[in-house]
Amino acid sequence: MTRPSGFDKHPSVTISDTEDECALGWREILDRLHAHGDARRIAIECYPGVLLEPLRRELVARLTPELVLESAEALLAAPEIEARFAGRLGDDPVFGSMLPVALEEFFDPAKLDQTRRTAENTRGRVIAIGTGATLLLPAWDLLIYADVARWEIQQRQRRRQAPSLGLANADAPPGQLYKRGFFLDWRAADTKRHEIYDKVNFWIDGNVPEQPRMLRGDTLRAALATVSRRPFSLVPFFDPGPWGGQWMRRRFDLPDGPKNYAWGFNCVPEENSLALRFGARKYELPAQTLVHEQPERLLGTHVFNQFGAEFPIRFDFLDTMEGGNLSLQVHPLPSYIHEQFGMAYTQDESYYMLDAAPDATVFLGLREGIDPQAMAADLHAAQAGGPAFPAETYVNVWPARKHDHFLIPAGTIHCSGRNSVVLEISATPYIFTFKLWDWGCLGLDGRPRPIYLEHGLKNIQWNRTTQWVREHLIDQEMPIASGEGWREERTGLHPLEFIETRRHWFSVPVHHDTRGNVNVLNLVEGDAAIVESPADAFPPLTVHYAETFVVPAAVGPYTIRPAAASAKPLATIKAYVRGGA
């Protein structure tokens, strides 16, 4: 039976031992704000998904304003919002276009002008609240930002608490709400948050509405500067799926509620949050804020110049132990994702086998001599309700063992089979997956999941057949260096992909150096290891089995050693962007 590990489900970065730096609860928050009692114009800018009612009740009402301006009252009418962004969103249930969008585009200019004039003519205190509050009250005396983690927004969408910006659609399917947030609302809000980041006086953590936390603006900005110079882990989250397994539940001691856990997200800054610790108190914020506000320290100049303020590497888990096969799928080629969806790069990926049962397999690449037209016909027939698609007739099925690393450049047909745990190491545009065959499974909502044969068939690279896959995508381990008690191996990825991966086996301290390039690592073997600075530049970080951690580019040299004597060597897998220093 799989034993629980010491996996930390609630990691945090200690910023200070002084808990007073983080106000906890509405009473403490109001006490801090009363020092600004002479502020006549207060803007409370809110990320979409923040619950406004607790803010209105506990904060706005107690600040005794003469006038309250609700940002929702200055928005365009819902039909106008729908029409304005129809081209960006399209009709597809999953995909949209990654085009720039500004928060101002949601608002009616005439309503904004009228609201601003009303504020100017009010002699007493005016408070603007909501997403876009700073547009209603551009000349504020005090700026408060209420934020919420992306994962919590998704939970609120599922609980019908988080409608799309400007729409009364809280009852819409969660997938529809997520799509609109991903391609539209969150993009606009991220841009606005970045624009006002240096001007925010107080930040409110709105993840627990009845017990909020608050930091001074300078405190949060200094904390993120600190995080950008030391190794850290993001707050993971786990979600069930139609093919999900039981390994993560047992190994990470997860709750018994869901029938399975399919995904474990532990380094996707677009989705994960970052927890800052002040004494016994934690403040949680979207990890994307760190990426946007400390990009060069975090990513390094080379990566920043290539990708901008985007984190290009993703680590996550796919658990099919006692579950089923993932969907048979393909990811878009770089030119296709750019032309169709406005993305600058695509989802090249790889499967690192964190664990595998004796019968575990990976579907990867096409068999020699298959007929593409016949395969396309069989896929269409299966999608139309005909015979099940005979996947093994067309697709290679490779045995998978623990610590195998399968490389999957975009355009390669693939999926993980049942009875394995994959550490997926990939580029970050994860939403663009073209499912070709779902093995007759239904989603958790009891409905078929979207299949994308038209997109998929245009992207399959038909020449990636058995021999090519064997030569280029499997068994690619290559010795790099070794010494007493350690060795380094290159495990990939393919030259078509921009990510390089290195595995270190060690029973003694191993020296690493970011060389100005962000590193992402996972402890893939061993109970625990300690990440340290040779120059004591940061506090030691203890990582446990299967935990992912980020080493910012600014760190430079660091070491990793076993936390305790072990009869067997430990191992880490490290990913970074090729090139640079």
| Angstrom distance (rounded) from CA 168 to CA 84 | 16
The full DSSP string for 284-350 is EEEHHHHHHHSHHHHH-HHHHHHHSS---EEEEEEE-TTS-PPPEEE---HHHHHHHH--SS---EE
When pLDDT is cut at 50, 70 and 90, the band that residue 3 belongs to is: low
Contacts of 276 (CB under 8 A, 6+ apart): 12, 13, 15, 22, 215, 220, 223, 227, 282, 283, 284, 285
Tokens of 15: 């910023």
What percent of the chain clears pLDDT 70, i.e. is strictly above it?
Answer: 99
Supply the pLDDT for residue 532. 98
Supply the pLDDT for residue 496. 82
When pLDDT is cut at 50, 70 and 90, the band that residue 4 belongs to is: low
pLDDT reading at 324 higher than 90:
yes
Tokens of 325: 């096969």
Q: In 3D, which of 187, 130, 231, 133 has the Cα closest to residue 548?
A: 231
Q: Among 84-93, 327-336, 340-349, which stretch is predicted with the lowest mean pLDDT? A: 340-349
| Angstrom distance (rounded) from CA 9 to CA 300 | 28
pLDDT in tens, 498-530: 999 999 999 999 999 999 999 999 999 999 999
Supply the pLDDT for residue 130. 98
Supply the pLDDT for residue 275. 98
β-sheet bridge partners, residue 464? none
| Angstrom distance (rounded) from CA 101 to CA 135 | 15
Q: What is the mean pLDDT of the chain?
A: 96
Q: What is the mean pLDDT of residues 80-105?
A: 94
CA 128 to chain centre: 31
pLDDT in tens, 59-77: 999 999 999 999 999 999 9
Q: In 3D, which of 77, 180, 189 has the Cα closest to residue 131?
A: 189
| Angstrom distance (rounded) from CA 286 to CA 533 | 26
pLDDT reading at 118 higher than 80:
yes
**Is the peptide bond prior to 493 cis by the omega test (within 30 degrees of 0)?**
yes
Q: What is the mean pLDDT of residues 534-554?
A: 98
pLDDT reading at 580 higher than 70:
no
pLDDT in tens, 120-163: 999 999 999 999 999 999 999 999 999 999 999 999 999 999 99
Q: In 3D, which of 443, 473, 522, 451 has the Cα closest to residue 362?
A: 473
Supply the pLDDT for residue 83. 97
Contact (CB, 8 A) for 574 and 551: no
Supply the pLDDT for residue 310. 94
3-state secondary structure (DSSP) of residue 272: coil
Q: What is the mean pLDDT of residues 272-287?
A: 97
Q: What is the mean pLDDT of residues 556-579?
A: 95
Q: What is the mean pLDDT of residues 267-295?
A: 97
pLDDT in tens, 50-61: 999 999 999 999
Contact (CB, 8 A) for 119 and 139: no
pLDDT reading at 1 higher than 50:
no
Supply the pLDDT for residue 566. 87
* CA angle (342 as vertex; 338, 346 as ends), nearest 5: 50
Range list of β-strands (E), 80-200 = 126-130, 142-147
| Angstrom distance (rounded) from CA 521 to CA 502 | 9
Supply the pLDDT for residue 161. 97
365-378 per-residue burial string, b: 16 or more CB within 10 A, e: under 16: bbeeeeeeeebbeb
Helices (H), 126-274: 133-136, 150-158, 174-180, 186-196, 217-227, 247-251
| Angstrom distance (rounded) from CA 395 to CA 291 | 39
| Angstrom distance (rounded) from CA 135 to CA 115 | 10
Q: Could you give the C-alpha distances from 558 to 530, 534, 553, in angstroms and in order?
A: 10, 6, 11
β-sheet bridge partners, residue 208? none
pLDDT in tens, 142-152: 999 999 999 99
What percent of the chain clears pLDDT 90, i.e. is strictly above it?
Answer: 93
Contacts of 43 (CB under 8 A, 6+ apart): 127, 128, 133, 134, 136, 137, 140, 142, 143, 144
Give the containing element (helix H, strand E) for 110. helix 109-120
Supply the pLDDT for residue 2. 55
Kindly list the structural domains of the chain, giving each domain's residue range(s) and its CATH number in brackets, ordered by start.
13-227 (3.40.50), 239-472 (2.60.120.10), 478-577 (2.60.120.10)
